[in-house]
Structure 1
Amino acid sequence: MDAKRCMDSFAVKNSHVLPPDTNSHGTLFGGKLMAYIDDIAAISAVRHCRQPVVTASIDSVDFLHPVFEGHAICLEAFVTWTHNTSMEVFVKAITEDLLSGDRKVCTTAFVSMVAVDENNRPTPIPTVYPESDQEKRLHTGASARHEQRKERRKESKELAEMYGTGLPW
């Protein structure tokens, strides 16, 4: 498999924020924004590996600015780093007041995606290489983020075992 550039996986999603997408404060539901993040990350990941993918994790999502009804939300994503079967996708979400043109980054997130074969088993993917300074910065920190995710997953498994599927403790 030939290595691919980060920008080969670049994907953009735009959406107009309408009343059904908002909460009682007139701002985009956090869960709706997270669904958009997962969707654009999957598109980017499939562009990179040209195989089906599943979401393994989404790092913390901090809501930096509200996204108001009537505004637009634009999400941009690209693969920053790859492992054997998994990849890290960086997602940036920008809110835009369509009437004034004012734009703000409302969140960023790292999403881990895993390529799967026809039996839903992890399958190897091409490596990725950065070109721009921004891509290089994200690529350089990716290995450490990968290790943090592994540790967090281990803790999540321990909690799942401890609390199980029974009645509340």
Structure 2
Amino acid sequence: MENYKTVAESQTIMTELMIPSYSNFGGKIHGGVILSLMDKVAYVCAAKHAETYCVTASIDNVDFRASVEVGEIISLLASVNYVGNSSLVVGIKVLAENVKTRAVKHTNSSYFSMVALDENSHKPVQVPGLVLENETEIQRFITAMHRKELNRYYKQEGERIKSSFKNEDFLAVLKKERCILKQP
């Protein structure tokens, strides 16, 4: 198939040792370090698929499921779950392994929306289509489509609320919440 690629062609695994300088005040690996590594692996995966420079457009739901300890080895598994015209959704799963006990835990998951850009004009360019070869790949593609629809809906709802809510409407909603409203 011309201008189509399989998911496997761009799948990427990045592995790194978690060192003390990556830790936060609580002695665990700082979430920002993990996010930075996730961004790198998302770029590599997207660029392999698109065969051009890609930028991060958004990050959807970074779920921190378990902490990562100093001395553990993390593996970031990335694959293209969805392609649009110039955009790609890269799914990332982070696993941490304790080298002494060999215990492996799933620590993070996320979805990075990437956009392929022409290296000279910096304008979006079309990416290859995606060949879906099994049920998992089909489910991931459809789930990414639904996530895009929901994000579009949430954005529209936010705009609608901003433009149509009156101050007294906000006050009625806020009375049920744990907040104090101080107005000038």
**Structure-1 residue corresponding to 2:43:** 42
Q: Deviations over 1:23-63 (max 9, x none)?
A: 12221110111111111000000000100000000101111
What's the offset of the Cα at 1:133?
A: 2.3
Q: Percent identity?
A: 28
Q: Distance in 1 between matches of 2:80 and 2:28?
A: 29
**Structure-2 residue corresponding to 1:84:** 85
Q: Report how many residues are paired.
A: 160
Gaps of 5+ in 2: 161-184
User: Any idea what SS the aligned residue of 1:141 has?
Assistant: helix
Does the 8 Å CA contact 1:80/1:130 hold for their aligned counterparts?
Answer: no
Cα 1:41–1:144 change in 2 (3 A) is same
Query: What letter is aligned with 1:13?
Result: M
**Structure-1 residue corresponding to 2:122:** 120
State the TM-score, normalizing by the size of structure 2.
Answer: 0.80
Query: What letter is aligned with 2:94?
Result: A
State the TM-score, normalizing by the size of structure 1.
Answer: 0.87
**Structure-1 residue corresponding to 2:151:** 149
Matched, 1:75 2:76: yes
Gaps of 5+ in 1: 159-169
Single out whichever of 46-55 and 118-127 deviates more from structure 2: 118-127
What's the offset of the Cα at 1:153?
A: 5.4
Cα 1:155–1:34 change in 2 (3 A) is farther
Higher-Rg structure is 2
Q: Deviations over 1:83-138 (max 9, x none)?
A: 01001101000011111100011011111000001211111111112213222211
